[in-house]
Amino acid sequence: MTETLRTVIVYINYAILLYVFFLMSTYLLLSFLSFFGIKRYFRKTSYYDRRNIFSSLNHIPISVIVPAYNEQNGIVENVKSLLQLEYPEFQLVVVNDGSKDSTLEALLKNFNTRQISFKPWYNLKSEKIRAVYVSTDYPNLIVVDKENGGKADAINAGVNIAKHPLVTVIDADSILERDCLLKIVVPFLEDKNVVAVGGTIRIANGCEIEQGNIKSVGLPKSILAKFQVVEYIRAFIFGRTGFERINSLLIVSGAFSCFVKETVIDIGGFKTGSIGEDMEIIVRMHKLLRKKNPKMKITFVPDPVCWTEAPENFKILKSQRTRWQKGTLESILAHKELLFNPRYKLMGLIGFPYYFFIEMLGPLIEILGYVIFIISVLFGWVSYYFAIVFLCVAILYGIIISILSIILEEISFTKYPKLRHLIEMLFLCVLENFGYRQLTTLWRFSAIIEYAFGKRKWEKMEKKGFQKVEEKNEK
């Protein structure tokens, strides 16, 4: 019996090692695709000036939807920042989703609003809208007050109010760079088959913020937030860009994304009660719209940047990562018929399997790998040579991919201008693999267990708000 168990565990070790090699090969392929994708993007955008090109009638009006729940700490600064966006014609729709704090009062007081009689343009399901207000100082600012229904429900209510053909969704605790709309609209102008576009998310902790705008970019003081800087660069620079190249993008960030409004309405809007509404709607778009239009595209633009606040303590970070993993499980399992489905081309054959086996099942396999490896070493069931190879592969692949992402970011966008920023981020690429990565994997593993036993509620995250970030930077 012992010999049989030993044989089984040895084979499991080899299987996991092969899985890690497969994982590393996939990441390297994505890095390769990302490099040429970003190179192509800069070659294309170097030929025109966005500000001049939109001075003509060649633009698409946009409605910016901001779902807000208990955002009193930063909502006023955020709205002021959004009103400064550079774009010929846009509407700002702030949806107060039944906040229990003074979010609504802050909006009404600071933007000189008056209540209006307004009938929604469309009929996506949402909780009851109590009132609609318009600012007398900023005619393009609409404030919607509704009963609480969650983020997806608030977005649907915003879509019902939105009057323009494109809708951009951003989080109430995020800051857009002023030219973001000019950049994110380009794919819609270039290709009528594009139905959704995502932008890049970066960490605002450590940045100097003045009047709702990023004045200078810096790294956070918190080591947890610093690790997240590297994570976000890795996820967006090579992950989103790589999958966009093969039209297999299965998620655009809920913190900053843009959609064709009619398309959102046609598929029934955002799924209310969803844990990961941003991923679910994209997967559903692939599933429903590719049948009607095989040329349908969901794309990613690496240049427009949305800055967001990152958790700086373990409790909030765990809550965030648990919710993300449950959202992935929810979206993948709800549309599992896409797995290896040739009708959906590379998305069904490569993109969806990646999310199924790596993003969804990856934590299970990684935790199993650690447990089996430790047992094997303790009982002497594997050679020291195998143990060294296993550890090197498991750790080095993470380091290499992170370093490649940082280098690609620096040669492409240079958001972190100082040499010490680059040196510190390269050091973090190594350090995150000795504890931090394993911890986040453990949280994701626990999320899978919780999801399997029916614990699937949306977990609220406490945030400080950018006003406090500013104060922190001034100290």
Q: Which residue has the tokens 């609504």?
A: 104
Contact predicate 276/325, CB 8 Å = no
Q: φ, ψ for residue 366 (rounded to 5)?
A: -70, -45
Write b or e for each residue in 12-21: b if 16 or more Cβ atoms lie within 10 A of its Cβ, otherwise e: bbeebbebbe
**Which residues have CB under 8 Å from 76's CB, separation 6+?**
106, 107, 110
Closest by CA position to 63, among listed 173, 158, 196, 178: 158
Cα dist from 343 to 192, 286, 299, 334, 387, whole Å = 21, 11, 19, 18, 42
SS3 198: strand
| Residue 56: exposure state from Cβ atoms within 10 A (0-12, 13-18, ≥19) | exposed
What is the DSSP annotation of 301-328?
A: EEEEEEEEPPP-SHHHHHHHHHHHHHHH
Low-confidence ranges of the chain (pLDDT < 50): 56-57, 467-475
Contact predicate 332/229, CB 8 Å = no
Would you list the domain boundaries of the chain?
1-47+173-475
Closest by CA position to 460, among listed 311, 295, 270, 307: 311
Q: Where are the alpha helices (DSSP H) in 178-276?
A: 180-184, 186-190, 223-234, 241-245, 261-266
pLDDT value, residue 468: 46
Closest by CA position to 168, among listed 89, 243, 98, 247: 89
Contact predicate 408/38, CB 8 Å = yes
Residues written for the chain: 475
pLDDT value, residue 228: 96
Residues in a beta bridge with 306: 176, 201
Residues in a beta bridge with 297: 194
Contact predicate 204/228, CB 8 Å = no
Cα dist from 423 to 206, 219, 363, 410, 464, whole Å = 16, 12, 29, 11, 28
Contact predicate 223/310, CB 8 Å = no
Contact predicate 273/150, CB 8 Å = yes
pLDDT value, residue 471: 47
Contact predicate 316/443, CB 8 Å = no
pLDDT value, residue 341: 95
CA dihedral 422, 424, 426, 429 (to 10 degrees): -140
Global pTM value: 0.90
Q: Which residue has the tokens 């913190």?
A: 255
Neighbours of 70 (CB within 10 A): 19
Strand order in the sheet with 62-68: 113-116, 129-135, 141-146, 90-97, 62-68, 166-170, 256-260, 194-203, 297-308, 174-176
